[in-house]
Amino acid sequence: MDNATFRDFGKAAIDFVADYMENIRECDVLPSVKPGYLFDLLPNELPEKPENWQDILKDINRVIKPGITHWQSPNMHAYYPTACSFPSIVGDMISSGFSVIGFSWICSPACTELEVIVMDWLAKFLKLPQHFLHSSEGPGGGIIQGTASEAVLVAMLSAREQTVRRMKQTHPELSESDIRGKLVAYSSDQSNSCIERDALLAAVPIRLLTTDDDLVLTGDILEQAINEDIAKGFIPIICIATVGTTGTCAFDDLPSLGKVCNERGIWLHVDAAYAGAALALEEYKELRNGFELVDSLNFNLHKFLLVHFDCSAMWLKDANKVVDSFNVDRIYLKHKFEGQTQIPDFRHWQIPLGRRFRALKVWITLRTYGAEGLKAHIRKHITLAERFEKYVLADPRFELITERTLGLVCFRPKGGNKYTTDLLNSLVERKKIYLIQATYRDKNFLRFVVCGMDPKPEDIDFAWREIRDQYSMLINEEKLLTLGKTDMGAIVKQLSTDIKISANKDKEKVK
C-alpha cells in the first residue's frame, strides 16, 4: 500500500466510522450470531495474493459488523460506559501513525513529557491532593496505565516488595520465603473481580471483607480483619478500597480506611475506575474526603471522560516505591540525559517495558472539550439517570434497590428473583437494549447505566418503554398460564369423577 492508496483507504475508513456512529441507533445493541459464526465466513488460511482495500472494507460490513456488540450505542446499559469521542479516535490514529514505543525519554521526548503534563492537568481537574502532581515537590506523580487491572496490580506488587524489604530489615531472623508466605491483602466483597485476579497474579492471598448494610467497607471492618490476621502471624500489605463499586456504585469509607492503613503502615490503593471522574464536580466534593491519606489511585478515562479504551489514569504519592520495586536496567536502555532531570522513565512505573503514546489522544480530547465540556458530559449522564429513576418510581410494579448514584440506577420488578431474571432474559432475547443483573442482600436486580457516545433523553424513554412493555407481556403471559392451569384443574377434576363413575359401572372398560 503506497501513500496515495493509504489516503484513499484512510478517508474511506473515517467515513465508515462516521456513518457507523451516525446510524448506530438503527443497530440492535446485541448481535444475532452464534458462537463460531466467523469460522464459516472466512478462509482458514491467509490469502496468497494481495487483496484491495475496497474488498476488505466491504467484508468489515459483511462479516465483522454483524458480530459486534455496539458499545457506543445509547441502548447499551450494561456494565459501565466505555467512553469514546471523535477527538480521541483522531488522537489514537495519529499516535498509531507515529508508532512510538515510549519506554524511555529518549525514545520520544514528547511521549513522556506530554504524559507528565496531561496527568497534572487531570489531577488538578479532579482536585487531587498536591502531592500527586509531577509539578509539586516530592516523589509523586501520575501515569497512564492500560486498565484499572494494571494499576491495581502495580500497586499490589509495589506494596508486596516494599513490605518484604522492610520485614527483612526489621526481622532478619525470617527468610524471604517465610515473609512472602505470610503476606495478606484486603478488599471488600463488592470490589471488582480484577482485584481478586490481581491478587492471584501477585501471589498474595486476599481477604474480601464483608461490607456493612450499605455495601461499604469501613475502617472498623478492616481493623478487625487486620487484628485477626496479625494474631495468626500474617503480614498485611495493602488494602484496595473502591470509590464506585461495580454492583451498586457504593463508596468505601476512605477517611476511616486511611486512618487504619496509615497507622499500620499498610498501602492504601483506591480503585475509582468509574466514579473517580465525579471528583471534578463541586456537588460531589465530599468524595474527595480521605484521598489525602491514600498511597495510589486509579480512574478510567475510558469510562467517563470521552477517551476511548485503553486509558486508565494512575497517581502515586511516592513513585520511588514503585521504581525501586520494578527497576531492572540494561545498558541498551540508558541514555545520556538519564538522571539529569526530574522527568520519569515510565517503564519503571508499569508492568510492560514498551508503552504507547496514549497521552496524545488524552491531550487532544481534553483540549477539544475543555474542563467545562467534560463536566457537562458527566452531568448529562447523571441527569439522564435521574430521568430513568423517575420512570421506575412512577411505576408501582418496580422498586429501587439502592439510591441512584451518578449514572447508575439499580432496580427490579417487585416480587421474587424469578421476575427479574425473566425480564432480563426477555430483554436480551430481543436485543434492543442491553442490561445485566447483580445481587444485593439475596435480591437479584437490574443495573441500568447511561452509556453510549451521545446518549439523549429519547434514548432513556425508549429503554423504559422496552422494559415496561416486556414486563407487561411477561405478566400477561403468567396470568394466562395461571388461568390455563385453573381451567385444566377443573377439567381434570371432572374427568376424574367421570372415570370413577364409569369404573363402578364397568371396571374392565375403564382399563
> Catalytic residue positions?
192
- Rg over CA atoms, the chain: 28
- The answer to whether residues 65 and 468 touch, using CB atoms and an 8 Å cutoff, is no
Whether residue 416 contacts residue 423, with contact meaning beta carbons closer than 8 Å, is answered with no
In 85-222 the beta strands, taken as DSSP E runs, fall at 141-145, 183-188, 206-209
Sheet holding 312-316, edge to edge: 141-145, 312-316, 296-300, 267-271, 235-242, 183-188, 206-209
What are the E-state strand segments in 317-434?
Answer: 398-400, 408-413
Angstrom distance (rounded) from CA 216 to CA 57: 49
436 backbone dihedrals φ, ψ, rounded to 5°? -130, 165
CA 152 to chain centre: 13
> What is the layout of strands, in order, in the sheet containing 398-400?
398-400, 408-413, 443-449, 436-440
Three-state DSSP class for 461?
A: helix
H or E stretch at 258: helix 254-264
